[in-house]
Structure 1
Amino acid sequence: MTSAAPSPSSGRHDVLVIGGRMDADRALLTPRGELVRGCADTLAEKLAQLPARTARVDLDMSGVRFMDTAGLRFLDVLRDHGRRRSVPVTATRWSGQPRRLLELVGLDTTDPLRPPRRGGAPTPSPPAPHGTDRAHMAEEEIEQLRQAIAARPVIDRARGILMASHGCSSDTAWRVLREASQLSGTGLRTVAAAVTAGAGRAGPRPPEEVREALATALARHLP
């Protein structure tokens, strides 16, 4: 059985679906989609459906492709469930943008539910292994993440336009926007706003550097 988050607005193109199975008295849950508004309620419903004999809950987060700050509430629900039922809970195998958000807020990227080290400090992420260039790239990516969270509504609309115009997936549309931002040296919010405005008949054409960056990104990510 799976649980799915309701679409909070007509601009949403992805839902969170939580699949899973029981392995003896251990629940293995597999969220797929995005941790956005409504995701905590979806998890709460799924946890409430678990058999009474459940003695452990493990979440494989590898299928989660985007997370905003609502995803932190998702983790709170899982943590509270473990405390109320006195059972171990984990959320592991984070990757991509959700992992970056965990880094940004100082949580353990291996398992953000893991208790912090003595003294209250979170387990630090390992340092970039290839010097200042790699560190600088990480800083740029985190800054883009901050912009993405703040500009989520306009980015959602831009992703929807790209998906409808080019028949691509939500993940691909996100990569196109992010790469166009990098190539043009323009903020992610600005790129998304240009895509949205350019889709209207009377909308202004995006700046030339943004158009060129979008064309390059689309050529790279679409067949």
Structure 2
Amino acid sequence: MSSAAPPRPAGRRATLVIDGRVEAGRALLVPRGELVHGCADTLAEALAALPADVGRVDVDMGDVVFMDTAGLRFLELLRGYGDRCAVPVTAGNWTGQPRRILELLGLDTTAPLEGPPHPVAARPVGSAVAAERSERLTVLQEEVEQLRRALATRPVIDQARGVLMALHACTPDEAWDILRDASQLSNTKLRTVAAAVTAGTRGDGPPPPPEVRSALRAALDRAGR
């Protein structure tokens, strides 16, 4: 027996296929693919195809590679089948991302059907998604902050390169190398070196600190300027 998700547009495979067999009153179902929208319908078809006298249903989840909140409906359907038919039903061998979702929901990854009677009601379906979104948001915020710092830093560095190009007749690449070398020689942040260079060009601006001034001189000497 085999059950697949409802037909999809040409060229796209079904997100979930369920293979199964029945031996000595025990049904083994093996879903392959993703527990996403439509997965419960696919499972319902597979369960409906089981013999009426089946005495046990085991579901091997090892080939499920992705799960969103639709997967909880999948579990509820399995639980409901066991209660309705008064037969033991298991869903084991969870791996990868689906296993992580169960962990986020606080379900037993070895026997999620033996958790609270109604996991969807007991814990909001969105909790796993919310946790995942929170993690992604944190990463995104860090990336945005890094970009913001880079954008704030670049104008100063570009201005310093322009100053060096004008004063020492060097190319943009040579100006960059001079700033970088001065930063390394003085153990000073590149932005700080660049700010010192641009500040020193203003009539009322302070001269670069001695260590930066010395490092700039050494970097200019290295560049032959």
**TM-score, reference length from structure 1:** 0.52
Return the letter of the residue paired with 1:146: E
Look up the match of 1:105: 105
CA distance in 2, matches of 1:9, 1:20: 25
Aligned-pair CA distance for 1:32: 0.2
CA distance in 1, matches of 2:12, 2:56: 32
Give the ranges of 4+ consecutive aligned residues of structure 1 lying more than 3 Å apart after TM superposition: 7-14, 142-145
CA offsets per residue over residues 144-180 of structure 1, 9 Å max, x none?
A: 97239x9xxxxxxxxxxxxxxxxxxxxxxxxxxxxxx
Aligned-pair CA distance for 1:6: 2.1
Return the letter of the residue paired with 2:64: V
Larger deviation, residues 20-29 vs 10-19? 10-19
Look up the match of 2:26: 26
CA distance in 2, matches of 1:115, 1:99: 15
Look up the match of 2:52: 52
Return the letter of the residue paired with 1:34: E
CA distance in 2, matches of 1:10, 1:144: 33
Look up the match of 1:96: 96
Q: How many pairs are equivalent?
A: 133
CA distance in 2, matches of 1:15, 1:82: 25
CA distance in 2, matches of 1:147, 1:80: 30
Runs of 5+ consecutive residues of structure 2 not aligned to the other structure: 117-121, 123-127, 145-225
Return the letter of the residue paired with 2:132: R
Between the aligned residues of both structures, percent identity stands at 60
Of the two, which has the highest radius of gyration?
Answer: 2
User: 2:107 touches 2:115 (CA, 8 Å); kept in 1?
Assistant: no
Q: Name the Cα RMSD after superposition.
A: 3.5
User: 1:91 touches 1:113 (CA, 8 Å); kept in 2?
Assistant: yes
CA offsets per residue over residues 103-140 of structure 1, 9 Å max, x none?
A: 11111111200245xxxxx9xxxxxxxxxxxxxxxxxx
CA offsets per residue over residues 76-123 of structure 1, 9 Å max, x none?
A: 00000000000000000000000010011111111200245xxxxx9x
Look up the match of 1:74: 74
- Please state whether the residue corresponding to 2:31 is helix, strand or coil: strand
Identify if the C-alpha distance between structure 1 residues 18 and 186 changes in structure 2 by more than 3 Å, giving closer, same or farther. Answer: farther
- Please state whether the residue corresponding to 1:30 is helix, strand or coil: strand
Q: Which of 147, 151, 161 in structure 1 is aligned with 2:133?
A: 147
Runs of 5+ consecutive residues of structure 1 not aligned to the other structure: 117-121, 123-141, 151-181, 188-223
**TM-score, reference length from structure 2:** 0.51
- Please state whether the residue corresponding to 2:62 is helix, strand or coil: helix
